[in-house]
Chain A
Amino acid sequence: MSFEISHVWKSFLHKREAQAVLRDVTMTVDPGEFVSLIGHSGCGKSTLLNALGGLTAPDAGAITLDGEAVTGPSPDRAMVFQSYSLLPMLSLVRNVEAAVKSARRDWSRERVTAGTEKYLRAVGLWEAKDKKPHQVSGGMQQRCAVARAFAVEPRALLLDEPFGALDALTRSRLQGHLVDLWTNDSETELVVMVTHGIDEAILLSDRIVVMSNPPGPSVCEVIPVDISRPRDRVSIVDHPEFRAVQERLLALLRRDDQRQEAA
């Protein structure tokens, strides 16, 4: 189970000028891998994620999941967005259920109900399951969105800055939920996450893809994170590898910063 991304290009019109946001992106996400995309805003990390999700069609190049070309969105590549994007009129449990039902029409009622319960319990929302999204906190809404994504049992999970709008404490708790679900309780093998957070990327990822602004290729470096799992968020900062990766990431992002200022 793996993503193959080869020579992907994507441009957008901006002020009447075509801007190549994705420039010759070639990379793979290997079986069982958690990969983070990091970079300054406008570097195309969200565009790349949307392309993996099939929401944006590349201008050139190919994306395949297990050899199957990605041509449109699919529950096999479930997404979690920064803005939660739950259905406002439905309770949390109905949110998950409705998504599973429509994404997996061939599943039996029992399977839908069981899956819904399993993942809502896993993110600690079973007690609050009958509340509407606007009645719960942002952290709980995002937990629900994560449960919804896992509940359709996707092959790959795509996360677009999933913790960006949350406070630090809630964020760290949700990161824990995410890793637990991915490692223990689900069929989902691949995770690709867009993030701004350097520490978050190191804590969660097996590899970190650093993306940069024009003119170079979009992917400027791929940094492996060789820290064994399970990782502890407190002690990981003492790991020599953590420091090394952190410094490398900071250097790369700062270089991009200076380049932008010079331009």
Chain B
Amino acid sequence: MTSVEVEPSVRVPVIADAERPAVESAVTTEAPWLEPPPLPKGAGRAQRMASSLFWGALGFVALGAIWQFASLRATTLPGPFATLSTTRELLANAFAKDGPAGQGIGLQLLESLGRVFKGFAMAAVVGIPFGFLIGTMPRFWKMCNPVIQLLRPVSPLAWFPIWLTILVKADPAAVWVIFITALWPTVINTAAGAASVPEQEHDVARVFRFSRWAEMRHIVVPHALPSVITGLRLSMGVAWMVIVAAEMLSAASGIGFFVWQSYNGPGLSYVLSAILLIGVIGVALDLAFLAVQRKLIPEVRS
């Protein structure tokens, strides 16, 4: 270890002000270079990433072990290795027009994603303005809230027969099921965000006589934006879960249909592969939303 000598400051500047003694101490021009001790282990970004990767991988190994054990006991359940090889096979023929469970899994996933995005977009177009309305108008909120609370806990699939009766075709019915699914989290989070603008922000609008429109645009919307995006993110998450069930009910395509066809045809290794891919896409959707959130709300970064 090298020791560093700190030289005491030699000169104290004379300050012309005779009334008061100088309080500032002199700044020495040549400060000694101090060598900081090395950073503790694991403090670097790379190390933290490596640590996350390692433990994350270990989690998957643990899952695989349990799965393998289970498949040895219950022989009807395909093990992880069989499933992975099926997955590889499915991905190789992802965009095939025909296969053991209908068209290729890539096409099925695209169909499902298309339905989810349609229903989700409809829910956003309806839900965000509606959320802002009830969030900023207390009486309207009091009027709508009981209705929302009544409908919210109902599984969106319960609506399926209604949509099917109205629309006759299964495809648009699934889209409307997603609409209902995505509607509630969007409305509720938007309303909560719009309603939680601090009183002081509204006071600013009152003091400076902002118009209702200006108050909405400059105060309520920016304030509610994080909740709106959170609502959309939740909606997307649930929508992706519900589409599988909706398509299992009666669709002629999509990942839900694929899962059901696999059960009836090629078997559980197809189902398990589908589960893996559904999970991967779910994670990707969520990460995409996080990216949007970071981009739109710079304050979140700090």
Contact = CB atoms under 8 A, between A and B. Distances in A.
A36 B200 CA distance: 20
B204 A98 contact: no
A148 B298 CA distance: 24
Contacts of B206: 55, 72-73
Given A87-B219, A234-B20, A134 B298 contact: yes
Contact of A73 (B20, B207, B298, B299): B207
Interface stretch (B145-153, B155-163, B209-217): B209-217
B208 A75 contact: yes
A55 B207 CA distance: 8
B207 A75 contact: yes
B19 interface: yes
B203 interface: yes
Given A90-B218, A235-B19, A235-B20, A85 B209 contact: no
Contacts, number: 62
B203 A79 contact: yes
Given A75-B209, A89-B222, A134-B298, A98 B214 contact: yes
A7 to B, nearest CB: 25
A83 interface: yes
B198 interface: yes
B18 to A, nearest CB: 13
B201 A85 contact: yes
A73 B218 contact: no
B298 A83 contact: no
A79 B206 CA distance: 10
A239 B111 CA distance: 81
Contact of B209 (A79, A89, A102, A134): A102
Interface in B257-302: 298-299, 302
Interface string A59-97: 000000000000011110111010101011110000000
Interface string B213-230: 010001100110000000
A105 B201 CA distance: 21
A75 B206 CA distance: 9
A53 B302 CA distance: 34
Interface residues of A, number: 27
Nearest to A56: B203
A162 to B, nearest CB: 12
Contact of A74 (B204, B207, B222, B298): B207
Question: Which residue of B200, B207, B210, B214 has the most chain A CB atoms within 10 A of its CB atom?
Answer: B207
Size bracket, chain B contacts: 20 to 34
Given A87-B219, A88-B222, A103-B209, A73 B203 contact: yes
Contact of A78 (B19, B207, B298): B207
Contact of B208 (A72, A89, A99): A99
A87 B207 contact: no
A53 B209 CA distance: 13
Interface in A83-126: 83, 85, 87-90, 98-99, 102-103, 105
A152 interface: yes
Contacts of B222: 87-89
B203 to A, nearest CB: 5
A72 B207 CA distance: 9
Nearest to B301: A134
A79 B198 contact: no
Nearest to B218: A87
B209 A55 contact: no
A134 B207 contact: no
A85 B199 CA distance: 10
Interface centre among A72, A105, A134 (most CB of B within 10 A): A134
A62 B201 CA distance: 26
Given A81-B203, A85-B200, A102-B214, A152 B208 contact: yes
B181 to A, nearest CB: 31
Contact of B204 (A50, A77, A85): A85
Nearest to B20: A234
B200 A81 contact: yes
A102 B215 CA distance: 11
A91 B204 CA distance: 17
Nearest to A95: B218
B227 to A, nearest CB: 14
Nearest to B217: A89
Interface of B: 19-20, 198, 200-201, 203-204, 206-211, 214, 218-219, 222-223, 298-299, 302
12 contacts: A55-B203, A72-B206, A85-B203, A85-B204, A88-B223, A88-B299, A98-B218, A102-B208, A102-B210, A102-B214, A148-B208, A235-B19
Interface of A: 50, 53, 55, 72-75, 77-79, 81, 83, 85, 87-90, 98-99, 102-103, 105, 134, 148, 152, 234-235
> What are the nearest 10 A-B pairs in CB distance?
A87-B218, A73-B206, A99-B208, A88-B222, A103-B208, A85-B204, A73-B207, A81-B200, A102-B210, A89-B222
Given A87-B219, A103-B207, 9 more contacts: A55-B203, A73-B203, A73-B207, A73-B209, A81-B204, A85-B201, A89-B222, A98-B214, A102-B211
